[in-house]
Structure 1
Amino acid sequence: MKQKAGSSVTVKDIAREADVSVGTVSRVFNNHSNVTDEIRERVLRAAARLGYTRAVGQRGAGRGDSSALKEIGFLYCSYLDTNAATNNPFWSHILDGVENTARQLNMKVTYRAIGELTSDPDALLETISKMKLGGILLVGPAEPETVQQIQRLNIPLVLVDNHVTGISVDSVLCDNFEGARAAVEYLIEEGHKEIAFIGGPVLPGPRPRNRIYTLERRAAGYRAALLDAGIPVDYALFEESELHPDSAYAACKRLLERGVHFTALFGANDNVAIGAMKALREAGLRVPEDVSLIGFDDIDMVEHLTPALTTVHIDKEAMGNVAVRRLQDRSMEPNMTAITCIVAVKLVKRDSVRSCKQ
């Protein structure tokens, strides 16, 4: 059947395409339990083929409110972190923003971690299909293969704190590049030239490249600030970590054991800075008297450290808000061009940086 514009597709069209009755289509769209999985999948695929994506999996789609998202999924996916996002000082605030906005829009939010399912595409798609979601927020550094697998479901999708080059999908991120550049420029303004960087896992190659897109943008901001100031990038001052304090502690110890000299260290996130602070102290180095330290994210605890950590603040609740509203727009206009939304950040100067100007 020739595909129509999404707004002109009717329940009769979908019934004809799926070779079922109009009543069956209505039961599928209203999530009735008296429909087999095989029939439900046939109807949803027919709806997607005809451009009726905005109605897929939503309650009430057969009653004239097909543009309204009723239930969305907050699907957390990270190969680095097996803990729940609800307990994480970064992701939990994004979830708060999602839930607050969803409440205003009369949406239900369903949370699930899906990291353990990514190695089994069939199980992943079956699990998400059974959730009967009207839209998906895929949160965290999901691999490109996982994003493509989820796109096969033809459910409106927005990536949160992730971007996948070469795949047409909406995404919401903070301004990782400019935040990192501002942090390192501040260190340079305070007289620092030997600035170490601890990032995330790196890809093999002639120079360290972070595997996670957002962290590579932070690394790019770090490099840009140095180069703009006429300071060459010294990869001997780079280390990788798994982004939690214990791993960053070990990464900082490796830097110190190599004997490379640095007067400041920029951590790819606050947990990295926390781990580095412990390693520096154990080595007899004081923060900030001997080594200045900056993090990224501004999680709740860092202003209570001694010294209070200078960091880049992300409005995490705003990221959740923007993601929900972008998902709503995507559900209403499924064929619009994919958009990347960038949320502004700001440098928060506290007590972990000292001036070493001559």
Structure 2
Amino acid sequence: MPRHITIKDVARLAGVSPATVSLALSGDNRVSIKTRQLVKEAADKINYIPNEIGRSLRLQRTETIALIIPNTSQHVFSHPYYSQLLEGITEVLNGYGYNLLLSLNPSEQELSAAYDKVLRNRRADGVIVSSASTKDRNLLRLIESGFPLVYLGKWLHDDVLGVERDDIGGAYAATDHLIRLGRRRIAHFSGPLDHQAGNDRLEGYRKALRDHNIPFDPLLVLEKDFSQEAGYEAAAELVGREIPFDALFAGNDLMAVGAMKLFREKRINIPEDISLVGFDDIELASLIQPALTTIHQPMKEVGIIAAQKLIALLNGQPAEEKQSVVATNLIVRESCGAKKDG
């Protein structure tokens, strides 16, 4: 983990005293415009955000909450579960008279700029951050600033409130279900493995294989980007390799739908030839043919809990629990080949 950047680092780079840095960053007129600019450039260069900003924001309300969706946000408007997340967040914010500021950032560099805008320009009272890349250091900067935030995902930090889905448990349930149907060569299309959701769903898949004494075969795992196009491409790649498999656990429903399209073109029948399970339980999952067996994750509930946690934090109320885990559950439909009860 990188060393924490302090006001002394800015002072050293700018060639002034720490006291001057503090005055300059607060816009004090006792510091010349030239020196203020020099200090700002030094702070920007080393990505320094003063703790005082986080503390002062508690006293100057904007009545706005920012939702930052980093890195994979190019899919945000095409991914149905984001609408459920937004519905949950806005339902709570409307009840408290808060506005929502939405920030989408497809790259880590643009994400850094988004954090800076929120912090330095005081555009929001607090931030909800959708799960970021595990390699992204911007979130750590936000935490160290003292800015009120809630993280959507697993983030093991003492000062961070979070809400996560049980991705490991959901992936385990999906894979375990396929194994109990008699499938043994189970492929998995993962999401990006530098994101926690992709990692956790792969972990749940591997754990189910271990518990049933089925060897893990890395040739059956393809890392993709959670899009429908990626599911189609991964299925084409897997079929093209001529590696035998009798089931697929797709890391999300959109990838499952893409894979289903490729299988249909190749005259591979679902579920007779390939049992298929997705993850998310988007509306499309119940409408396609065959209807998609999937893992339901209540994204509206995630949004509600996250917004409630942040409002409580802004009001100085202690959190009942720092990290909340929202359960997922298996929804059995036609694509896996299981017989439904009744």
Fold shared per TM-score above 0.5 = yes
Q: 1:222 to 1:125 in 2, by over 3 A?
A: closer
SS in 2 for 1:82: helix
Paired letter, 1:308: A
Which residue number in structure 2 is paired with residue 73 of structure 1? Answer: 66
- Contact 1:54/1:331 (<8 A) preserved: no
- Contact 2:57/2:122 (<8 A) preserved: no
Q: 1:353 to 1:245 in 2, by over 3 A?
A: same
SS in 2 for 1:119: helix
Q: Please, which of 167, 174, 183 is the counterpart of residue 176 of structure 1?
A: 167
- Contact 1:239/1:252 (<8 A) preserved: no
SS in 1 for 2:324: strand
Q: 1:121 to 1:137 in 2, by over 3 A?
A: closer
Query: Which ranges of structure 2 fall in alignment gaps of 5 or more residues?
Result: 1-21, 28-35, 40-49
Q: Map of 1:1-358 to 2, 5 A cutoff?
A: 45-46=51-52, 48=54, 52=55, 55-59=58-62, 70-78=63-71, 80-83=72-75, 85-116=76-107, 118-119=108-109, 123-129=113-119, 130-142=121-133, 143-160=135-152, 162-165=153-156, 168-201=159-192, 210-333=193-316, 339-354=322-337
Identity, in percent, stands at 26
Once structures 1 and 2 are overlaid, which stretch shifts more, 313-322 or 347-356? Answer: 347-356
Query: Which ranges of structure 1 fall in alignment gaps of 5 or more residues?
Result: 1-17, 25-35, 39-43, 60-69, 202-209
Which residue number in structure 2 is paired with residue 62 of structure 1? Answer: none
- Contact 2:332/2:338 (<8 A) preserved: no
SS in 1 for 2:163: strand
1:98-157 CA-partner distances (Å, limit 9, x unpaired): 0011112222212121334x3167633432132521110012434531202323442201
Paired letter, 1:193: R
- Contact 1:156/1:334 (<8 A) preserved: no
Q: 1:188 to 1:87 in 2, by over 3 A?
A: closer
How many equivalent pairs are there?
298
Paired letter, 2:114: L
SS in 2 for 1:172: strand
Which residue number in structure 1 is paired with residue 12 of structure 2? Answer: none
Once structures 1 and 2 are overlaid, which stretch shifts more, 329-338 or 307-316? Answer: 329-338
Cα separation, 2, equivalents of 1:121 and 1:260: 40
| 1:331 Cα offset (Å) | 2.8
Paired letter, 1:221: G
Q: 1:159 to 1:56 in 2, by over 3 A?
A: farther
SS in 1 for 2:285: helix
Cα separation, 2, equivalents of 1:215 and 1:53: 37
Cα separation, 1, equivalents of 2:110 and 2:219: 38
- Contact 1:266/1:294 (<8 A) preserved: yes
Paired letter, 1:124: A
SS in 2 for 1:144: coil
- The TM-score with structure 1 as length reference comes to 0.74
Cα separation, 1, equivalents of 2:176 and 2:313: 37
- The TM-score with structure 2 as length reference comes to 0.78
Cα separation, 1, equivalents of 2:61 and 2:338: 57
Paired letter, 2:325: I
SS in 1 for 2:219: helix
Paired letter, 1:163: K
SS in 1 for 2:68: strand
